[in-house]
Amino acid sequence: MYEKERQELIDCALSMEAHGLIVQSGGNVSRRMPCGNILMTPSAMAYGSMDPEDLVLMDPDGKIIEGTRRPSSDHQALLYIFKHMPRVNVILHTHQPYAVALSLVADELPACTTTLIDELQGAVPVAPFTRSSDEGMGISVVTHCNGSLAVILKHHGVMAYGKDPEQALSAAIYLEEGCKGYLAALATGRPVARLSAEQVAAESQERGYYGQP
């Protein structure tokens, strides 16, 4: 079941790897299917050699419906996020280095560039440390999410999400670019310029001209 969607999630993980957001078998990818069940990458398997049938299909409470692999060790946190964020259909968990670096020196990545407003939908919060691989990480994401498409997990990584794989992947990639730029600005030691709420609101407005018709 869901052959196409399984391959899309593997492709998503490979793209995360290609963009330097994960290494080895780190991170995970999961997706809520229209029926409500959750498709998830397995625990500790390299994405380059992963087959579609290695992904695990479970119900919203974590009962395995299809698959012989163990799901990601973060499955309890991921199921909690899906349960409490009904508009989220895809979650990417990464250990992207610039976002982790930022989490050690700041409480948020401010919406200080047009790309962050366009691709992340605003400032990205840093959630305090929680132990990995348990539900607490999911509770922390739900508690600290602020309408942007990601939460940075202090000392750990990122949960980026969206309505589909493209939106979630875009959020994770542009978040890393944004963290890189913000850290570079901080490293100068000079004050970092902010955008006003009005400027952020103006940039957020739909302008109807981007991409191809």
Q: Footprint of Zn ion on this chain (CB under 5 A)? A: 157
Smallest separation (angstroms) from Zn ion to the CB of 95: 6
Question: Measured over all CA atoms, what is the biggest interatomic distance in the chain, rounded to whole angstroms?
Answer: 54
Smallest separation (angstroms) from Zn ion to the CB of 194: 30
Interatomic CA distance for residues 50 and 1, integer angstroms: 16
Three-class SS of residue 197? helix
Tokens 């196409």 belong to 4
What is the layout of strands, in order, in the sheet containing 38-40? 64-66, 56-58, 38-40, 28-32, 90-94, 157-162, 150-153, 124-127, 108-109
Smallest separation (angstroms) from Zn ion to the CB of 179: 16
Residue nearer to Zn ion on the CB measure, 131 or 194:
131
Residue nearer to Zn ion on the CB measure, 157 or 178:
157
Residue nearer to Zn ion on the CB measure, 27 or 110:
27
**DSSP calls for 134-152:** SHHHHHHHHHH--SSSEEE
Smallest separation (angstroms) from Zn ion to the CB of 115: 25
User: Residue 123: what are its φ and ψ, rounded to 5°?
Assistant: -60, 145
In 8-67, DSSP assigns E strands to 28-32, 38-40, 56-58, 64-66
Residue closest to Zn ion when measured from CB atoms: 157
Smallest separation (angstroms) from Zn ion to the CB of 65: 24
Interatomic CA distance for residues 87 and 74, integer angstroms: 20
Residue nearer to Zn ion on the CB measure, 133 or 143:
133
Residue nearer to Zn ion on the CB measure, 110 or 157:
157
Three-class SS of residue 209? coil
Residue nearer to Zn ion on the CB measure, 96 or 113:
96
